Amino acid sequence: MLKQLFTTVRGRRYEAMEAVVDRNALPLLRQQIRDCAHAVEMSRKAVAVAMAQNEQERKQFDRLVRQIEDLETRTLDALEKGREDLAHDAADAIAHLEAERDTSSAAQERFREEIARLRSVLRDSEARLRQLQRGQRLAQATDKTQKMQAIMPDAGLTTLREAEATLDRLQTRQAELDATARAMTELESTGNADTIRDRLAAEGCGTPLKSDADSVLERLKARKADQKQD
């Protein structure tokens, strides 16, 4: 039982640590990328140092080659002059220089191999760093978007939908009221006797209700004719 209790405590501690890491994932990622960028920069410096050292070793190799050639020429001249003692000392110096030359040549080969390896590691590191930086920008954009969504909660969107539904009901009710008013007006106009009379008169049925120029002129002519007869 005690073992199970310890296991439970460790499990909860692990879950709490995981929760802390999740809540601080973006700051953690930014710091890790800064560390990676620093490591890549150190790799660049390591490549530069190796190249500089290789250049120095190459110059040392060239100097040794020139010394050996010069001593060989002088040794041959000493032999021609019968100076075996000088020629022997020169040959001993040449042997030491050749050993240094061979060591320098081997060192250059190692430098070239190390530079090639460091460059390969650097290229891979730079590519991975750029990928991490792109992922970081995407993660930051996603985080900002999620925070913006949190600013506008679902309740606000629900209120918008409710307001739209209210507006639809209001517009429908107003359209119904307009239609009812038009129908009432039409019913009133068709059911009123005076209105029907006006409509019939307007269609020329019966005596016109309103005088026009022709009717006035006819009336005046008729009055004049009556006066002549009198």
Residue 155 to residues 4, 149, 151: CA-CA distances in angstroms? Answer: 44, 12, 11
Is 159 inside any structural domain? no
Instruction: State how many domains the chain has.
Output: 2
Q: Which domain holds residue 76?
A: 2-151
> What separation in angstroms does the CA of 183 have from each of 25, 178, 180, 196?
69, 9, 5, 17
10-residue mean pLDDT profile of the chain (230 residues): values are: 59 58 72 87 89 92 93 90 89 92 92 90 89 84 72 63 82 81 66 62 64 66 72
| The domain boundary residue, chosen from 121, 151, 181 | 151
Q: Residue 159: what pLDDT? A: 74
Q: pTM of the predicted model, to two decimals? A: 0.52
Residues 16 and 88 in one domain: yes
Q: What is the CATH number of the domain that holds 39?
A: 1.10.287
- pLDDT value for 66: 94
16 and 111 housed in the same domain? yes
pLDDT given for residue 189 in this prediction: 56
Same domain for 74 and 128, yes or no, is yes
Residue 176: the pLDDT is 82
100 and 207 in a single domain? The answer is no
183 and 109 share one domain: no
